[in-house]
Amino acid sequence: MKIFPAIDIKDKKCVRLVKGNFDNKTEYEVSPVEQAGKYKDYGFKNLHIVDLDGALTGETINLDIIQEIVKKFDLKIEVGGGVRSLESIKKYTDAGVEKVILGSAAIKDKNFLKEACKKFPNKIALGLDAKEGYLSVSGWKENSYQPTLDFLKEVNEFGFSRLIYTDIDKDGMKQGPNFEETSKVSNISNCPVIISGGVSSIDDIKKAKELNNNNNNIEGIIVGKAIYDGDINLDELVKEIDA
């Protein structure tokens, strides 16, 4: 199972939000590049990066930081946060990221998602952020009133190569991921699914691995706040990759 330590970038710093709320954020002393180096040193192979400035503006604000991380460390990186154009996707793929995550723009415009998948084969990940079974968009400020599973059925054939499912009510709360809903999504999805939101302990990772063993469509899990707050030890976490 793949483990994706998370780096959220805001104002050139590592931050973590609670339920996606920009007014409820924790800033950390370590820089995004230093944090990526730390993950690399511990032996992680994958990295999940969100450009929160990009999410607010729709521009690739922190492209330079992401380029530096790609150049310095041999990590497979997925990047999201306000990617709203084919040009932005190209900037990231040219920088060497493995997957570009499309969220709100893909939900609001299915044709954009379809076109991106055609133009950038095997490079697009779909990010579905849900609250009580309905998709949320625009940094989780808007409810799209689209049931998650219905939307997935509509776009399932488009050709995205990874799906990241986040339960908003769990994100940043460290109360454990929504494994039940993630399983429902993975049962429908044509591509592998990443569990996101709410990881609180190494036990959550072990549960995810059980799910991964029973369901080969679960590809991995994203771990963020629990690392920064010291609830999960990186030595312990990295053992779960190949254990």
Q: Among this protein's residues, is 129 annotated catalytic?
A: yes
Tokens of 239: 């053992």
Tokens of 140: 């989780």
Q: What does the alpha-carbon distance between residue 99 and residue 80 come to, in Å, rounded to a whole number?
A: 9
Q: Among this protein's residues, is 203 annotated catalytic?
A: no
3-state DSSP of the chain: CEEEEEEEEECCEEEEEECCEEEEEEEECCCHHHHHHHHHHHCCCEEEEEEHHHHHHCCCCCHHHHHHHHHHCCCEEEEECCCCCHHHHHHHHHHCCCEEEECHHHHHCHHHHHHHHHHCCCCEEEEEEEECCEEEECCCCEEEEEEHHHHHHHHCCCCCCEEEEEECCCCCCCCCCCHHHHHHHHHHCCCCEEEECCCCCHHHHHHHHHHHHHCCCEEEEEECHHHHCCCCCHHHHHHHHHC
* Orientation angle between helical segments 202-214 and 234-242, nearest 10 degrees: 10
Active-site annotation holder among 8, 51, 167, 171: 8
**50 closest CA partner among 5, 86, 85, 95:** 5
Active-site annotation holder among 51, 129, 167, 204: 129
Which positions are annotated as active-site residues? 8, 129
